[in-house]
Structures are given as structure tokens and as C-alpha cells.
Amino acid sequence: MSNKSKNFLQNLLKPFTSNSNRGQTEEDLEAIAAQEQKQFPFEIIKAATKDFHPTNKLGQGGFGPVYKGKLNDGREIAVKKLAHGSTQEKLLVYEYVANESLDKLLFKSGSQQVLDWKRRMDIITGIAKGLLYLHEGAHTCVIHRDIKASNILLDDKWVPKIADFGMARLFLEDQSHVNTRVAGTNGYMAPEYLMHGDLSLKVDVFSFGVVVLELISGQKNLTFNRDPNSRNLLEWVYRLYKQGRSLEIVDHTLTPSTIPDEIAMCIQLGLLCTQADPALRPNMKQVVLILSKKPSTLEEPTRPGFPGSRYRTRRPTASLTSGEFTSHSSGSTTNTNTVNSSITVTATERTSGLTSPKLDTHGKRPTQG
């Protein structure tokens, strides 16, 4: 990458820069997690939720009920009770997000209208910046493994928050990829990971691409049935793209607010991120630069990946745009010294639950989206 491009990225992330040492070892992981945590006395949580009053109950999750609360300083919180398998009740405190999760708006009939194109574009950009932080700006590189619409929360200003780090993995600097038991959600998992357990940063890139195409089309990849000749959303989008008809995928509720050139760029970016060959997918730094600069030309995407699809490993190809991206390297090798930053898209569940790849030998099985 040219010095000009590096300076651009550094200026983009400058407000969130941290000067902390990046040379972390496995022994540092618990200390890192402790730094990320904020603890509240039980009395404060009890008062904030009005003693867990039924009227403050937001819902019931798989591990316990969730309550809304308000701290003395005015901040709204969500409190999850974890009581299973323990004689002592445990509480998790999250930032409360007024607009719930992206899937409840995107896939619910009658709700899509609140997501005009500008708002969807901002969500795409916000998720990209959040993933860039996890991959290159966090204390230790984090692979989320479960990026999907239901794990993107929207606050009262519609800022996206990447949530649910229960399947995340810490990724040490000297690793290009790891082999692990598959964990994730069907419809969002990259084929090399789903079929072979090959885990790299490009797994998150693939999931991000699926979310981008879902945001544009208003269609869910896993349950896609709009075209009988396409097995899923990705195949349908790619077919229309090759026919020069990619704008036909656009959610009809976007019609009054569409910006055709910008949408076309995002469709192509989504297809680049979901290519079957992980070596051809851009990394999140490239994605953020593309979304920031909105180049007029991008590479031609190859076929998307999905369960059962095959691909040939290809040699790195020419740049995504001008001379700023010299090649498509595998992008799997992580250098956490590249960007010392945090991002406005925050992780609502901190890294306290993460474990080293060497220690975490078991993952959760794939779930339905």
C-alpha cells in the first residue's frame, strides 16, 4: 500500500488511536479481558432495573431473561441474568440499543421502510470499520465467526454495534489460519470453513459480504426463494450481475432513496467479499478504503462460495482500484501492529469470554439463521 493510502487510513482512525503495546502473548489474554470489563455493584443493577421488575423485561434468551435498566448517570443498559448451572446468579451488563437488531427491521414485513439507502450505507460502513478494529486494531486480533444480521445491533442514532462474541476466537500474530471445529450460522459461513474447518480473517469477510447483499436486497440468504433457478441469494445476485442486471436485486422499499452508482459499487463489493476462493477476497482494510473513497472501478468478482461449491486456488490478481491495492494476497496473515486503533462501532460483548486458539479446541455447532 502506498504512503498516501496508509496516511489516509491512519487519519480515518486517528480519533481512536491507542499507543498500547501490541506484542501480546497468551499469558496476557486474561489481563486484556480484564481491561475491557466494567463491573457494577449488584445494588446499582438492582436499582437500575427496579429490582428486575416485570415491566422492564425485554425478553427471554437461551441463557436467561434480559431486563432494561437506567443508571444514575442516565445511561440505559440491558442486563442478562445467567443462572443456569450455578448456585450463584451471574449478571451481564450491556449497552442498551433502542432499535434492536438489524434482522428485525430488514426481514420483517412493514419495517424495511425505516432503513432508507443512506441508513443502510452507513450501517455497511459501520460494520466494516468494526471488523477492521477486531482484525487489526484490537489488543489481539479477533475473528468473530458469527457476523450476521441478528448480531448487528442499532442504537438510537442507528450506529451499528457488532454483538455476541460467544463464538469469537483470538488469532495470534504468527498464524495465517487455524483448523477448528465449525461454529457459526448457516447462510453466513464461508465454504472453506464450513466444509473443512479452515479459519482465517477471510471467514469474517465472507459473512460481511453476505450481510451487505442482504441489506441491499432485503432478502435473507438462508431462506432465499425468489428465483427457482438460484440455490441462494449469492448465486442469484452473481447471475444478475454477470448479465448486467445487478440493480434488479435492490429492495423495492429503497426506490425513493436509491443512489444507483453507490448501490452498484456495494453489490460488486459484496460479491468480492463472498468469492469462493478466500485468497481473492479483500481484507477489511481494503473494504473500508473502498467504502470511504467510493472508487469508480473495482475488480471483477469470481463465483461466490456456498456449501458444495468448488474453487481453484488462484494466483493473486491485479489491484482492486488504481495502484493502492497492489494485489489480492491471502489476507489471512494478521499484523496487529498495522493499525493501533479503536472504532466507533463497538463490541457490545467484550473479549472476556474469548480464549486462545490453542486452548479452545471445541466450538459451537452451526446454527440456523
Q: Which has the closest alpha carbon to 354: 68, 31, 109, 62?
A: 31
Q: Give the full edge-to-edge strand order of the sheet including 90-95.
A: 57-61, 64-70, 76-82, 90-95
* Catalytic residue, candidates 28, 51, 146, 227: 146
> How many C-alpha atoms does 368 have within 13 Å on its Cβ side?
1
Instruction: Tell me what pLDDT residue 7 has.
Output: 55
Tell me how far CA of residue 173 lies from CA of 54, 201, 219, 269, 305, in angstroms. 46, 12, 36, 27, 27
Write out the H or E segment, with its range, that includes residue 205: helix 201-217
Cα first-last separation, the chain: 37
Domains 3-35+100-353 and 38-95 share a fold: no
Domain 38-95: what homologous superfamily? Phosphorylase Kinase; domain 1 (3.30.200.20)
Respond yes or no: is residue 146 known to be catalytic: yes
Rounded (to 5) percent helix, strand, coil in the chain: 40, 15, 50
pLDDT tens, the chain, 369 aa long: 555 555 545 554 444 334 444 344 444 445 545 555 678 899 999 999 999 999 999 887 666 788 999 999 999 998 988 765 555 678 888 888 888 889 999 998 778 888 999 999 999 999 999 999 999 988 888 999 899 999 999 988 999 999 877 777 776 554 545 555 677 888 999 999 988 888 999 999 999 999 999 999 999 998 998 888 898 999 999 999 999 999 999 999 998 899 999 999 999 999 999 999 999 999 999 999 999 988 878 999 999 997 656 655 544 443 343 333 333 333 333 333 322 222 333 333 333 333 333 333 344 455 566
Give the DSSP letter string of 274-337. Answer: TBSSGGGSPPHHHHHHHHHH--S--PPP-PBP-TT---------S-SSTTT--------S--TT
Backbone dihedral angles phi then psi of residue 78, each to the nearest 5 degrees:
-120, 135
C-alpha cell of 254?
Answer: 429503497
Q: pTM of the entire structure?
A: 0.70
Domains of the chain, residue spans: 3-35+100-353, 38-95
* pLDDT attached to residue 211: 97
CA dihedral 86→183→105→79, nearest 10 degrees, is: 20
CATH of domain 3-35+100-353: 1.10.510.10
The predicted structure's pLDDT at residue 254 = 92
Look at residue 81 in the predicted model and tell me its pLDDT.
Answer: 86
The string of DSSP letters for 140-194 reads: SEEE-S---GGGEEE-TT--EEE---TT-EEE-TT-S-EE----SBTTTS-HHHH
d(CA 10, CA 32): 23
What was the pLDDT predicted at 201?
A: 95
Buried b (16+ CB within 10 A) or exposed e, 102-115: bbebbbeeeebeeb
Interior angle at CA 268, CA 152 and CA 338, nearest 5? 65
pLDDT recorded at residue 110: 76
